[in-house]
Structure 1
Amino acid sequence: MKNLFKILILICAINNIAAQDYTPDKKVLYKVINGDSLFLHIFEPKPSKKPTAAIVFFFGGGWSGGTPKQFYQQSAYLASRGMLAISAEYRVNKVHGTSPFDCVEDGKSAIRWVRANAKELNVNPDKIVASGGSAGGHVALCTALIDGLENSEEDLSISAMPNAVVGYNPVFDTTENGYGAKKVAGRETEISPCHHVKSDMPPMLLFHGTGDKTVPFENAKRFNRLMQEAGNKSKLIVFDDEGHGFFNGSFFRPNSEDKLFNETIYHTDKFLKKLGYLKGRPTIEKE
């Protein structure tokens, strides 16, 4: 009976964690364009005398929809580890009538705003990470890879280039060989990460499933190879047989058991620690 009681307590604790609500500490306006206001959903670390690193997540949804809540769980964890974590809004087609090119512009605006306001945010401007999943992962990659698509009303002397990138099954190729060719018709290679790899790119950590039917696994392998051939630091972590969106946590996908969320955020933690953006061991188990 005593052992059964312990097991019941453990089950309740696990269910409580899975059902935990995540709420940002604040939402800050970072951009107003064509009458649309865009906010950063900020999860703050414990107060620190020394500026911390920051990470900006971009949600997925095919550049057409989606919600910043997709990365609340990741943001809450990384804030608990000591860095400022942000899940960013950006314009999407179903709400704002925009294109993937506008999404990339907003991604750059978000990174630039964080760097411009680093002092007020208590952030090290040289330790800003861009991250995201699927189309949001594409936006994160493009903040590092794509020249142009800047908002002319911003202070362009402040760089929108992140210092590192973490991509969760991002879109790597926007031609017919990848995802989204119809959405960028006539401009298929303009914001296609595979077509813009060059040297001196920030270090990147990439996650992809071999069973992904939305973004072909071949795209991930090709991009990672091109990055390494150009002399960049790029690591691809492969998840056998996993499909698109496997990394989502139980807060965003209630039917998730968090196993793959835990594994991807564990590797993200280790990557950020290696860069000197976090200290100590991950507080989450790999499995």
Structure 2
Amino acid sequence: MEARDAAERVRPDKLIEYKKIQEGDPLKLHVFQPSQVKGEVPCMVFFFGGGWAVGSPVQFYQQADEFRKRGLVTICAEYRVAKKHKVRPDACVEDAKSAIRWVRKHAGQLGIDGNKVIAAGGSAGGHLAACTAFVRGFEAEGEDLAISSKPNYLVLYNPVLDTTELGYGVEKVKELRQKLSPVHQVVEGGPPTIVMHGKADETVPFENAERFSKVMKEKGNSCTLVPYVGAAHGFFNSPMFRKKANLEYYKSTIEETAEFLDREGLLKP
């Protein structure tokens, strides 16, 4: 009900099919376009959470609306999930990579700068965003691999960063526990990243975010970790999506995100 309410209050400007799948209807990108912006602008692609099992692009509609008002093209991406499509997390990673690649390939159509693609997401969606940057393989057949599926920047909200026994989801990824674990795949040359994580998160340990940030810096990558004392899992959700969301936490994550994007030169003057 809450997701439906959000969709009625904020709507994307267009839906664009980006991938055909065997398990059902084609996957779509929910595109929000800024008004009165000339030239190529950065693009922010959001991946929803839900344990790779459920979820909706509507989760990030309010964030997408916030940042299209600040001059970005913003996109909430669909991807396959276990409950609806009977797939494992590796298929979700494949779809996330397909989405980033499609966006970059069609930069002209979208009016974006293909070298300023930001992957963002919360929880399992944060995992997918991080995987597009660091996890090797899991590319869809038939796609042009000459076009990179790696984003230029990462914005992560209590993301799943360790899929081994020390993190979240090992029973879902099984033998792929390290191959799909971003913290185990970090290499130098990674995109500038911001991680926002609640210290009271009982679903995805805060320690995972600390360790990821440490490994990122050891590899020479830029990573900003913003801890939220007392915040539990899903603290970043918007009040439009979840009526009981903490408005102050939500506003803070928007401003932290905006400051990060501004530091990287991605927001209009």
TM-score interval, smaller chain:
over 0.9
Is 1:22–2:14 an aligned residue pair? no
Percent identical: 49
Is the contact between residue 48 and residue 121 of structure 2 (CA under 8 Å) also seen in structure 1?
yes
Question: Is the contact between residue 210 and residue 243 of structure 1 (CA under 8 Å) also seen in structure 2?
Answer: yes
Task: Indicate the SS of the match to 2:108.
Answer: helix
Secondary structure of 1:178's match?
A: coil
SS class of match (2:27): strand
Aligned partner of residue 161 in structure 2, secondary structure: coil
Alignment partner, residue 237 of structure 2: 248
Instruction: Report if the CA contact (8 A) 1:104-1:139 is conserved.
Output: yes
Out of 171, 191, 203, the residue aligned to residue 202 of structure 1 is 191
Q: Report the CA distance between 1:19 and its aligned residue.
A: 11
Find the aligned partners of 2:176 and 2:105 in 1 and give their Cα distance.
31
1:129: Cα distance to partner?
A: 0.3
User: Bigger shift: 154-163 or 43-52?
Assistant: 43-52
**Contact 2:47–2:125 (8 Å) recurs in 1:** yes
Aligned to 1:32: 20
TM-score w.r.t. the length of structure 2 is 0.95
- 1:1-287 matches, within 5 Å, as 21-34=9-22, 35-280=24-269
* Residues paired across the two proteins, number: 263
Unmatched 5+ stretches in structure 1: 1-17, 281-287
Note the C-alpha offset of 1:47.
3.5
> How many angstroms apart in 1 are the aligned matches of 2:111 and 2:39?
7
CA distance in 1, matches of 2:257, 2:105: 25
Cα root mean square deviation, aligned: 1.4
Residue pair 1:20, 1:251 contacting (<8 A) in 2 also: no
Question: Would you identify which runs of 4 or more consecutive aligned residues in structure 1 move more than 6 Å?
Answer: none
Structure 1 residue 192, shift from structure 2 partner:
0.3
Query: Which residue identity does 1:63 align to in structure 2?
Result: W
Query: Which amino acid is 2:139 matched to?
Result: E
Deviates more, 1:82-91 or 1:41-50: 41-50
Flag the structure with larger Rg.
1
User: Hey, what's the Cα distance between the residues in 1 that align with 2:36 and 2:108?
Assistant: 14
Give the Å deviation of 1:166: 0.3
Cα deviation, 1:232-257, whole Å, max 9, x if unaligned, reads 00000000011000000111111224
Matched with 2:3 is: none
- Aligned residues of 2:7 and 2:61 also touching (Cα < 8 A): no
Deviations 1:102-121 (CA, angstroms, capped at 9, x unpaired):
00000000000000000011
What secondary structure does 2:207 align onto? helix
The structural deviation recorded for 1:20 is: 8.4
Q: SS where residue 255 of structure 1 aligns?
A: coil
Q: 1:132 to 1:19 in 2, by over 3 A?
A: closer
**1 CA distance for matches of 2:186 and 2:102?**
25
Q: Deviations over 1:164-185 (max 9, x none)?
A: 0000000010011100000011
Task: Provide the rounded CA distance (Å) in 2 between the counterparts of 1:48 and 1:42.
Answer: 15
- Alpha-carbon distance in structure 2 between the residues aligned to 1:88 and 1:258: 24
Could you give the per-residue CA deviations for residues 9-30 of structure 1, whole angstroms, max 9, x where no partner exists? Answer: xxxxxxxxx9981111111100
Q: CA deviation at 1:188?
A: 1.1
Task: Tell me the TM-score normalized by structure 1.
Answer: 0.89
